[in-house]
Homo-oligomer: A and B are copies of this chain.
Amino acid sequence: MNKTGNDKPDILVIGAGAIGSFYGAILKRAGCTVSVVLRSDYDAVKADGFRFTSPLGELSWTPDQVYQPGDTPSRFPDYVLLCVKVLPGVDRAELVRPWLGEHTGLVLIENGLDIERELADAFPRNPLVSCLAFIAVSRTGPGTVNHQAYGQLVMGNFPKGFDHHCERLAGLFRDGGIDINGTDAVVGERWRKCVWNTPFNPLSVLANGADTLTMLDAPGGEALIRTLMEEVIAVAQADGYPMPDGIIEKNLSGTRAMGAYKNSMALDYLNDRPIELDAILGNVVAIADRLNVPVPHLRTVLVTLRIRQA
């Protein structure tokens, strides 16, 4: 039982940007106590909460507590939702440590591959739930968020399984109005998302923010993207996660059907925000190297982006 007297869990969202404030809103709507830790938008959210526009209806909400990094929690939450970007120089274990009690579950809603391990290693006895978000949402100002579409989470324990924490969280997210796709092989789901993200996202940055159809229709573009996808699939297979037949065709036809589209990494690049290069591509190449899978095309893209960042 939490401090509001019902049996809904206490949630703390760390990194309450667009993603964090959206899933916080969903859990708030499901009746949870939801607090946030904020850095840059602290004053705005403390004063006015989060203001949303969303096709799901009214999602604006006021956190139960608004913390800053360095504050001390009055009590440990049942679950911490970690929603920060995975970037070099951001030590996520240290971000989380002050807010994690002995029994607090850690819920990652973050993009990329192999992004759970450093947290699993740092907190081996806390429950660890790994989520992939399929959503179009963006922060438009301090405390203001525009949710454009979607919101589904793919959810499972890291490295595998679907325990009672997953069950409980899935029920709450569904109560709040979004779809949950539960899985006992979340790493395989991350690989499946990488089949699209790992080629398209970094390539769009190298091409200075090109949209999907520009990439596919340039001379040699579709062939290069297919080859990059084949390399991702070969690494996934060697890592123990064979991808389903026809996944390349399905990805490409889906991409064409969606029309010209700037992916999230392209938008980060165009808006001078850091890109999650390691989570999306660097970790794939690192696993390939560990498993001796040749990835010449992926490596060229990775190193070229590292040169650009240097």
Contact = CB atoms under 8 A, between A and B. Distances in A.
Interface of A: 203, 206-208, 210, 214-215, 217-221, 223-224, 227, 296-297, 299-304, 306-310
Given A303-B221, A303-B223, A210 B308 contact: yes
A70 B220 CA distance: 37
Nearest to A204: B307
Contacts of A304: 203, 206-207, 224, 301, 304
B308 A220 contact: no
Contacts of A219: 303, 306, 310
Question: Which of A207, A219, A223, A307 neighbours the largest number of chain B CB atoms within 10 Å of its CB?
Answer: A307
Contacts of A310: 207, 210, 214, 217-219, 221
Given A297-B296, A300-B296, A308 B221 contact: no
Contacts of A307: 203, 206-207, 210, 214-215, 218, 221
A220 B215 CA distance: 25
Contact of A301 (B208, B217, B227, B300): B300
A208 B272 CA distance: 14
29 contacts: A203-B307, A206-B304, A207-B304, A207-B310, A208-B308, A210-B307, A210-B308, A210-B310, A214-B307, A214-B310, A218-B303, A218-B307, A218-B309, A218-B310, A219-B303, A219-B306, A219-B310, A220-B299, A220-B306, A224-B300, A227-B296, A296-B296, A296-B297, A296-B300, A297-B297, A297-B299, A297-B300, A300-B300, A300-B301
